[in-house]
Amino acid sequence: MAHTKRYFVAGAALFTALLSGQTPTIRTNVDQVVLDLVVRDKKGKPITDLKREELTVTENGAKQTLLSFRLVQGSEAISSSTTTSSTATTTGKLDALRQLRLVTLAFEPLGGPDERKLARSAALDLVKSEQGPNVFYSVVAINTRLLVLQPFTTDKTTLATAIDKATAGTSAPKMVQESDNILSELKRQLGGDAVGNDSNILSATATAANQPLGPGMDPGKVALAQIMLDILRMDQQAVSSGTRLSLAALKQMVQGLAPMPGRKSVLYFTGGLYLGPELNQMFENLVGLANRSNVTFYSVDSRGVGASNNQGATSQLNNAANASATTMMRREGGATKNEMMAADNAENAGRANTQLRVRELAESTGGFLIGDSNDLRAPVHRVAEEISSYYEVTFNPGIQNYDGSFRKLSASVSRKDAVVHARTGYFAFPPTAGHAPEMEPFEVPLYKTISDGKLSSDVEFQAGAVQLQAGVEGASIALLVEVPLRALQTKAAEGNPPMGVHCSLASLVKDEKGEVVRKLSRDRSLRVTPEQAKAGNFIEKTTFYLPPGKYTLETAVMDRESGKTGLRRSEFSVAASQVGLAVSAPVLVRSYTPAAKDLDPAEIFQFQGGSITPTLGNTVIATPGAALRLFFTVYPNRSSKAPATVEAEFTQAGKSLAKVPLPLPPADAQGKIPYVMTIPAGSIPPGSYMLRVTAKQAPESAESTFEVKIAAK
């Protein structure tokens, strides 16, 4: 059971930055482990007078020296320090915004009226209990997808309303509509629209597009509302139904909660989980992710005493036992089909008890199962106690090799009959990984390569940052990683085409202090034709917002077939703009797909309903029919009624060669003007040129530049 907490300093840095109105900076510090735990006596009553010297913490069997020890209780933190002669205690108030405790009530579709009534009663009992001023609740439902019924709030009335909706047997379409309305409101306030006056309801946001905070927006509200948006990112994913949907939704909740410091809990109201063998890894990944992200699950089985959790299990166990007994008694002759399947039947019997896995989910992440009763008040009271009161200690494990391995933790006390509830460990990831609660196994060697810092061209690729829209607070950036398929070793694959490639990549953006501020990681396995393997490329991209400053981009790409890895490092700068007009940096167009299906309106690289595939190269070979195609975007000042115009100028060695006005189409629905400039490459003499794109909108102007090389065939 319970509550080991270990988090990189990322969460605290994120929230502190948001409170100050700055763009979040992710800090990494795996040298310090933060562990929280609950101590109870043999009767289950919390022990709140534990002394530092009574507690022993070990990691991988080695005793650790505690750097800090404190009891977090209600709105106070009681710290103790020991000298050679005495032990002193100090009491301080918790910061109501920096010492958050987040609780998510997650409801699966419930059964009959009795089950819904029991779940409603348990949820309301928890919400109405007194736990301190910094406990925020949200209400979500897993029904066709992950739905939000109430963003994080301390308002008990609005929470009660959301709980009623979650337990009323409401149809999925109605809940989907309500969730979509809430999500739209969160996104609407993205651009700095008026924020509600209710200081308890955290429904303001600076959006997933990482825009700077709008005037009047409360940074504290922005922080938790952003967490809510992160939780709901699953809405954009195609997920099937049943247990797979449940596991995917729970994983998305954990991912959204991960960046925040403090205690994070999920009360999971469910009738159980049936896990076939194909879902074992997905379940284990969820448990590991929760442990790395300091998220505790409390599973609530609201079916009451009458639940037939074990009928299917009992039947299958009996069948397995009978088959095994038959085999043991038979001395000669062949085995029957049932006899041969005895071991499988025994394994499936455990799966047939749907309560076993939700119990495992809770106990593996530090919580416990609430169920097998028609009165859940006592266990709910225990949950409230654990949210409100716990010990928090820190120590330095002195890790020398960040290999991603599991580090086993154990906590014990010398006091007789005392029981400690704590998580069982964490995974040691490289410091350069940043805050990586979602760390996948493929990422570990990549971050180790980046951490080692030895540049390598064993795998050919390009990586770069393209500035998009500049603003007063900084600029939006597109991070691109482009890998030519010829750089990867092909493997045999079934079907047509009969070839495949597999590569992984990871990019880290660091500020001038060397702190990780953004990351991109992908694992890609592709089927390719021989022609694609020779001349094809694939590109990964992500967009984000950065404040003004100098940055370093470090990228590692691994060919999974050959085991070779390449590492590149480059620098770029971000400059702020004091005007409302902006123009992005031009990029070469590798290909264009007109009338692209399911094109995301927020996709940066699109033009007149088609999809742009950019390339980080800057060389065009002047073969017959070749063209210089450059893509850029003009961002007009929406507050100006003057039309925006653009002029392209080519220079060479500082001398202007040509100036060409470009006809701009109307702005799209997002208020921007994407543009593709096409010039026959054969009409340009070989050489290096500087292209300057200047946008004007009286009285403002903005410009960007791009160096292009025209090479002879």
Which tens digit of pLDDT belongs to each residue from 459-478?
999 999 999 998 888 899 99
> Parallel, antiparallel, or unpaired: how do β-strands 655-662 and 606-607 relate?
unpaired
CATH fold of 101-304+366-386: Rossmann fold (3.40.50)
Q: Check: CB of residue 450 under 8 Å from CB of residue 506.
A: yes
DSSP 277: G
Are residues 678 and 629 in contact, defined by beta-carbon separation less than 8 angstroms? Answer: yes
User: Helix or strand or coil: residue 576?
Assistant: coil
pLDDT tens for each residue of 139-176? 999 988 889 999 998 899 999 999 999 999 877 788 88
pLDDT value for 250: 92
Give whole-number Cα distances, 434 to 27, 443, 474, 557, in Å. Answer: 6, 12, 22, 18
Q: Which of 410, 459, 411, 450 is nearest to 429 (CA)?
A: 450
Query: Amino acid identity, residue 427?
Result: F
What is the distance between the alpha carbons of residues 10 and 31, in angstroms, rounded to a whole number? 13
CA distances from residue 427 to 256, 270, 422, 432, 448 in whole angstroms, order as listed: 19, 29, 16, 14, 14
- Rounded to 5 degrees, φ, ψ at 124 are -65, -40
**Which contiguous run of DSSP H or E holds residue 164?**
helix 156-166
Distance (Å, whole) CA 594 – CA 588:
17
The pLDDT, as a whole number, for residue 84 is 43
Contact 446, 560 (CB under 8 A): no
Please report the beta strands in 160-285, taking only residues with DSSP state E, as ranges in sequence order.
263-269
- Residue appearing with tokens 């064993």: 458
Asked if 424 and 291 touch (Cβ cutoff 8 Å), the reply is yes
Q: Are residues 213 and 192 in contact, defined by beta-carbon separation less than 8 angstroms?
A: yes
| Topology at the third CATH level for domain 445-578 | Immunoglobulin-like (2.60.40)
pLDDT of residue 297: 93
For 514: left if phi > 0, alpha if psi spans -120 to 50, otherwise beta; the answer is left
CATH class label, 581-713: mainly beta
> Quick one: which H or E segment has residue 531?
helix 530-535
Place of tokens 């694992």: 523
Q: Which regions in the chain score pLDDT beneath 70? A: 1-31, 74-99, 132-133, 187-223, 233-241, 306-353, 401-405, 426-441, 493-497, 598, 600
pLDDT at 192: 37
Count CA atoms within 13 Å of residue 414 on its CB side.
Answer: 6
| The pair of three-digit structure tokens given for residue 112, joined into one six-digit string | 């009959």
Q: With CA atoms as reference, report the closest residue to 271 among 302, 240, 241.
A: 302
pLDDT given for residue 240 in this prediction: 56
Residue spans per domain, the chain? 10-96+392-433, 101-304+366-386, 311-346, 445-578, 581-713
Number of neighbours of residue 503 by Cβ within 10 angstroms: 27
